[in-house]
Chains A and B, each alone.
Chain A
Amino acid sequence: MKKGFARRAIAATVALGLGMTLAACSSGGGGGGGTAVQSGDYKGPKVTVTFWNGWTGGDQQTILKKLVSQFNSSHKNITINPVELQWADISAKMPLAIKAGKGPDVTVAHGDDIATYAAQGLLVKSDAIIKDLGYTASDFPPGLFEHGAYQGAQYGIPWSVTPLGLYVNKSVLQKAGISPTDTPADKATYLSDLQKLKSKGIQGEWVDGYVFTGTFEFESLLWQYGGDLFNKDVSKATFNSPAGVQALTWMVDLVKQGYSPGKVAQDGNINALIAGKNAFNWNGIWQTSNTALLKDQWAAAPVPQIGSQKAVWSSSTDWAFVNNKGQDKNKTQAAAVFVKWMNEHSTVWAGGGELPAANKVRNAASLASQYPNLKPFLGELQYAHFETTAPGIPNAEATITTAVNEAVLQKKSPKQALDDAASQADKLLAQNKQQYGG
Chain B
Amino acid sequence: MADTTVARSAPRSTRSGGPSGRTRPRRPSGRRTLTAYLFLAPFLILFLVFVVAPAIWGIWISLHSWNPLLPIHPFIGLSNYINLFTPGSLTSGDFWLSMGATAIFTVFSVPFLVAIPLLVAVLLNQRLRGGTVFRAIFFAPYVLGVAVIGVVWRYLLDPQNGVINNLLDGLGITQNFPWTVDVPWAWISLVGVTVWWISGFNMVSLLAGLKGINAELYEAAGIDGAGAIRKFWSVTLPGLRPVMAFVTTTTILSSANMFGQSYLLTKGAPGHATRTAIMYIADEGLSQNQMGAASAMSYVLFAVLAIISIINFRLQSRTSGD
Contacts and interface: CB of A to CB of B under 8 A. Distances in A.
Contacts of B68: 16, 19, 23, 95
Nearest to A6: B257
B278 interface: yes
B202 interface: no
A9 to B, nearest CB: 9
B160 A265 contact: yes
A262 B178 CA distance: 9
A206 B176 CA distance: 14
Nearest to A428: B90
Nearest to B142: A3
B259 A268 contact: no
Nearest to B286: A12
Interface stretch (B204-212, B234-242, B268-276, B301-309): B268-276
A1 B161 contact: no
Contacts of B181: 263-265, 409
Interface stretch (B7-15, B69-77, B310-318): B69-77
A370 interface: no
A75 B250 CA distance: 61
Contact of A427 (B90, B254, B259, B278): B90
A346 to B, nearest CB: 30
A17 B182 contact: no
Given A1-B257, A265-B180, A16 B161 contact: no
Interface in A120-174: 120
Nearest to B263: A4
B198 interface: yes
B146 interface: yes
Interface stretch (A63-71, A235-243, A270-278): A270-278
Interface residues of B, number: 54
Interface string A410-438: 01100000000000100110010011100
Contacts of B254: 1-2
A16 B272 CA distance: 27
A343 B180 CA distance: 42
Contact of A261 (B50, B67, B176, B259): B176
Interface string A1-33: 111110010101110110110010011100000
Interface string B278-300: 10001001111111000000000
B54 A1 contact: no
Given A17-B54, A210-B267, A264 B67 contact: no
Contacts of B198: 1
Nearest to A211: B267
B260 A1 contact: yes
B194 interface: yes
A20 B295 CA distance: 15
Contacts of A427: 89-90
A289 interface: no
B255 interface: yes
A434 B289 CA distance: 14
Name the residue among B159, B269, B272 with the largest chain A CB count within 10 angstroms.
B269
A84 interface: no
A186 B101 CA distance: 43
Interface in A389-423: 392, 394-395, 402, 405-406, 409, 411-412
A275 B161 contact: yes
A266 B271 CA distance: 13
A406 B90 contact: no
Contacts of A436: 70
Contacts of B194: 1
Contact of B259 (A1, A392, A428): A1
A4 B142 CA distance: 12
Contacts of A424: 90, 93-94
A406 B271 contact: yes
A209 interface: yes
Interface of B: 50, 53-54, 57, 65, 67-72, 89-90, 93-94, 145-147, 154, 158-161, 176, 178, 180-182, 194, 197-198, 250, 253-255, 257-261, 267, 269-272, 278, 282, 285-291
Interface of A: 1-5, 8, 10, 12-14, 16-17, 19-20, 23, 26-28, 88, 92, 95, 116, 120, 206, 209-210, 261-266, 268, 271-272, 275, 277, 392, 394-395, 402, 405-406, 409, 411-412, 424, 427-428, 431, 434-436
Given A1-B198, A13-B50, 14 more contacts: A1-B197, A4-B145, A4-B259, A5-B260, A8-B259, A12-B286, A16-B68, A263-B181, A263-B182, A265-B178, A266-B267, A277-B160, A428-B90, A431-B290
14 contacts: A1-B258, A2-B257, A20-B57, A23-B68, A26-B71, A120-B70, A206-B160, A210-B269, A261-B160, A265-B154, A271-B161, A392-B288, A409-B270, A435-B70
Across chains A and B, which 9 residue pairs bring their CB atoms closest together, nearest first? A28-B71, A263-B178, A2-B254, A4-B146, A263-B181, A427-B90, A406-B271, A409-B270, A13-B54
